[in-house]
Amino acid sequence: MSHESLVPGELGESPVRATDVPEPGAVTIVVPTFNESGNVRQLLRRITESVPARLPCEVVFVDDSTDDTPEVIRAAAPDCPFPVTVLHRPEPVGGLGGAVVEGMKAATSDWIVVMDGDCQHPPSLVPDLVATGERSGAALVVASRYIEGGSRAGLAGSYRVAVSRAATWLTKALFPRRLRGISDPMSGFFAIRRSAVTAELLRPLGYKILLELAVRSRPDRVAEVPFVFQERYAGESKSTAQEGARFLRHLAGLRTASPLSRMVVFGLIGLTGFVPNLTALWVLTEAGLHYLPAEIVANQFGVVWNFLLIERLLFRERRRHRHWADRTVRFALLANADLVLRIPLIALFVGKFGLAVLPATALALVITFVLRFVGTEALVYLPRRSGRSRTTRSRTARSNA
């Protein structure tokens, strides 16, 4: 079999020989795997047949499997002309996206191509992804099912097609600026320059690593090439309802990455707290309790509701910084301090500045809301300063004295 194959050009352009891709076009193919023992031998065979020998290449499998996938890869590796590495992770932190980040850290080439291990991403497109990036100067080249020449034919069933379309629409609606020029943000098949990756900034959750890259550290220039999503070669799809839930949590985490976004979500969660608050107030007053103590008790129902939602949706990644009991007490104190502070503020605005009661109340609500958000982030969810670092600073100060 001759390796003088051609690297396909973009639509309407003449093909580019593999020799036209300069030496910096060396590529590391990163393949995250989870129980893909029936696919990896076939995948390596297709890589061998598709990637020209003139294109320097290495294959890095990052494996989270519970079956014999690592052993199958090692047994098949000698038949591949390129170096093959298996990194097995005892704990699958971050899911398949976390595996990709580990593979990126291990990559030694200027280009990193990420693809699935189930043979649904054609390795024949690897040279085209790299060549397109070299020609266009793009730092990220996405293989897209949604541009001319692409297809999602390999998606099994109308249900998966509908879910894929809905997920694509949702992500593009949530991140219109970051995803501009990317027609398929759900694609798991792309090439990126190693110099454009800052692995420490990535916080993957699940398998949508391209979305993570595009939102947190999107390269300036992006290109796309069409590809036909193929049928799985062997095994079963890893797309489950649990993965769908992880994807939604990932979206929420990405959308609330900025302080302004977090404040908006914090306010929306606070508004939903009126439902348990008013429900409890109605039950307690109907039971004959005076409305003042009833409101104090009912407010705690709203506090608990808000705390649970904030824990799950807003500060999920920061919960490890403090014990749950510590977080609960701090949050409750801040939430109830809001009531204590609001009344003196209203009295100040009315008595001192002559505001009417309604605008004075609205202004007090805004001020206490901002203070509550800042206090919650700073006093409940920011990491505590370690005693070790304080001790080190103290010793340094004494030594300099």
Residues 207 and 301 in one domain: no
CB 109 within 8 A of CB 56: yes
Residue 312 confidence (pLDDT) above 60: yes
Strand order in the sheet with 27-33: 84-88, 57-63, 27-33, 111-114, 190-193, 140-144, 222-226
Q: For 322-379, what is each residue's pLDDT tens digit?
A: 888 999 999 988 888 877 887 788 888 888 888 887 788 788 878 888 888 888 888 8
**Residue 248 domain-assigned (yes or no):** no
pLDDT digits (tens, 9 = 90+) for 102-114: 999 999 899 999 9
Task: State residue 386's pLDDT score.
Answer: 53
Together in a domain, 137 and 263: no
Look at residue 388 and tell me if it is in a domain.
Answer: no
In a domain, 232, yes or no: yes
DSSP of 93-126? TTHHHHHHHHHHHH--SSEEEE--SSS-S-GGGH
Residues 9-32: pLDDT tens digits? 333 333 444 444 444 358 999 999
Helix (H, G, I), strand (E, B) or coil at 147: coil
Are residue 101 and residue 144 in the same domain, yes or no? yes
In the block, residue with structure tokens 């649904």? 120
Q: What is the mean pLDDT of residues 231-235?
A: 71
Considering the domain architecture, whether residues 289 and 215 belong to the same structural domain is answered as no
The owner of tokens 């799950």 is 312
Predicted confidence (pLDDT) at residue 388 exceeds the cutoff of 80:
no
Are 366 and 314 in the same domain?
yes
- Considering the domain architecture, whether residues 296 and 202 belong to the same structural domain is answered as no
Domain with 17 in it? 6-236
- Per-residue pLDDT at 144: 92
Verify that 184 and 226 share a domain, yes or no. Answer: yes
DSSP string covering 257-286: -SHHHHHHHHHHHHHHTHHHHHHHHHHHHH
Domain CATH number, residue 222:
3.90.550.10
pLDDT at 390 over 50: no
Same domain, 171 and 212: yes
Band (pLDDT 50/70/90 cuts) for residue 157 is: low
Q: Of residues 104 and 387, which shows the higher confidence score?
A: 104
**What are the contacts of 185-188 at 24+ separation with CB within 8 A?**
185/210, 185/211, 185/214, 186/210, 186/211, 187/142, 187/143, 187/144, 187/145, 188/114, 188/115, 188/116, 188/121
What CA–CA distance (Å, rounded) separates 292 from 290?
6
Residue 131 placed within a domain: yes
Residue 323 shares a structural domain with residue 356: yes
Specify whether the CB–CB gap between 10 and 129 falls below 8 A: no
Report the percent of the chain where pLDDT is more than 70. 81
Residue-wise pLDDT for 67-89, tens only, equals 999 999 999 999 999 999 999 99
> What is the model's pLDDT at position 193?
92
Identify whether 341 is part of a domain.
Answer: yes
Tell whether 220 and 270 lie within a shared domain: no
Task: Determine the Cα–Cα distance for residues 66 and 11; give it in Å rounded to an integer.
Answer: 42
Q: What is the pLDDT of residue 241?
A: 63
Share of the chain above pLDDT 90, in %: 25
Residue at 82 is within a domain:
yes
In this structure, the answer to whether residues 215 and 317 fall within a common structural domain is no
Same domain? For 213 and 328 the reply is no
Judge contact between 49 and 1, C-beta under 8 A: yes
If one counts the domains in the chain, the total is 2
Contact at 8 Å (CB) between 182 and 214?
yes
- How far apart are the two ends of the chain, measured CA to CA in Å? 74
How many residues are present in the chain?
Answer: 401
How far apart are alpha carbons 163 and 185 in whole angstroms?
14
pLDDT bracket for residue 129 (50, 70, 90): very high
Mean pLDDT of the chain: 80
List, in sequence order, every residue forming a beta bridge with 61; answer none if it has no partner.
31, 86
Q: Specify whether the CB–CB gap between 117 and 232 falls below 8 A.
A: no
CB 127 within 8 A of CB 56: no
